[in-house]
Amino acid sequence: MRTHVRARRLLPLLLAAALLGVPVSAHAAPTAAAVEEVADFGADPGNLRMLRYVPDGLAPDRPVVVALHGCTQNATGYGTDSGWVELAERWDFSLVLPEQRGANNLNSCFNWFDSADTTRGQGEVASVVSMVDHTIAATGADPSRVYVTGLSAGGGMTSALLATYPERFSGGGVVAGLPYRCAAALYEAYTCMYTGKNLSPEAWGDRVRDASSHEGPWPTMSVWHGDADYTVTVANQRELVEQWTDVHGTDAEADRSDTVAGYPRAVYEDGAGRPVVEAITVTGMGHGQPVDPGTGEGQCGSAGAYVLDVDVCAAWHLGQNWSLP
């Protein structure tokens, strides 16, 4: 049944995927271990591939990061070019790299706009959680230190994972992505991508609260977006801030502002003064993953098409926020 349903929507997905398409460069940083596929990781209702990077000699009780690629990308390429593979080696944590299959989506987009894949216990979100469970069991990782991030369609799926399984993730990072349930079907995706969907913070928050029976605590959220992004409009950054500040019970007015590598950052704190949401706007950047190639402090990643050298590596800053080193 699942294959038949997906086959009926392949033609419209060609257009949607092209809009979210993010080709990946072929650069690869040398590492001691290697990205490997895990063929049998448990329940896989979303029919995804699981790849992972586990540093040699990984200590127990280390964190797990899930990194989700964009359309037309693959797991290994995105994990490498974004900087996450080199950071996993440098900082000693497990990296889970889900990969979409062509049978699900011809352009390898995660189906962030499909309710069948963004509902707890179903589809792609359930498959990714199976990968997390397998990694925790296989590596002895700390289940309280699991994080998820992704680019574009992978960013939309990051939102879905944080909403549907909030008890499983301590934090998330959405890069050029969209709020949870901005779309629940393909026809809604275009409005979200091009203009954004303007709802009240409470309405956005209700979409997260309705996705599970969880009552808190909630994952922290970091939102990265280029203000010259014409593929997924930067308006989605504001809607994500409204969604997750409401979930955390605070307002969408920044409590403090500063910069990250010279780019403006707004920080939103809960009633206890704890930063729970942040928004980094990369001025002048189009649609893509921010990287800063090099070996210096704060640098990581490899530049390529839609993996953009803008002198800031989003993966490095997310890792710092999550205390991965």
Q: Which tens digit of pLDDT belongs to each residue from 79-129? A: 999 999 999 999 999 999 999 999 999 999 999 999 999 999 999 999 999
Catalytic option among 108, 127, 130, 152: 152
pLDDT for res 184: 93
DSSP string, 212-280: SS--S---EEEEEEETT-TTTTTHHHHHHHHHHHHHTT--SS-SEEEEETTEEEEEEE-TTS-EEEEEE
Could you tell me the two tokens for 151? 């680019």
Look at residue 28 and tell me whether its pLDDT is greater than 60: no
Tokens of 82: 């974004």
* Range with lowest mean pLDDT among 15-19, 124-128, 174-178, 204-208: 15-19
Q: How far apart are the first and last CA of the chain?
A: 44
Q: What is the C-alpha to C-alpha distance for residues 288 and 229, in angstroms, rounded to an integer?
A: 8
Residue tagged 């992704």 (tokens): 150
Give the max Cα distance, the chain.
51
Concerning whether 152 is annotated as a catalytic residue, the answer is: yes
Tokens 């499909």 correspond to what residue?
A: 114
| pLDDT tens, position by position, 257-305 | 999 999 999 999 999 999 999 999 999 999 999 999 999 999 999 998 7
CB 267, CB 275: distance < 8 Å: yes
The reported pLDDT for the residue numbered 170 is 98
pLDDT reported for residue 243: 98
With 0.85 as the threshold, say if the pTM is over it.
Answer: yes
Reference 37, options 93, 75, 80, 91; nearest CA is 75
Total length of the chain = 325
Confidence band of 78 (pLDDT split at 50, 70, 90): very high
Which pLDDT score, from 0 to 100, does residue 32 have?
65
Contacts of 93 (CB under 8 A, 6+ apart): 55, 58, 62, 63, 64, 65, 87, 141, 324
Q: Which residues pair with 309 in a beta bridge?
A: 291
pLDDT at 23 over 70: no
User: Which pLDDT score is estimated for 12?
Assistant: 39
Find how far residue 308's CA is from the centre of its chain: 17
Q: 122 CB contacts (<8 Å, ≥6 apart)?
A: 45, 46, 116
Rounded to whole angstroms, what are the CA distances from 248 to 93, 180, 201, 205, 321? 27, 15, 11, 9, 18
> Cis omega before residue 325 (within 30°)?
no
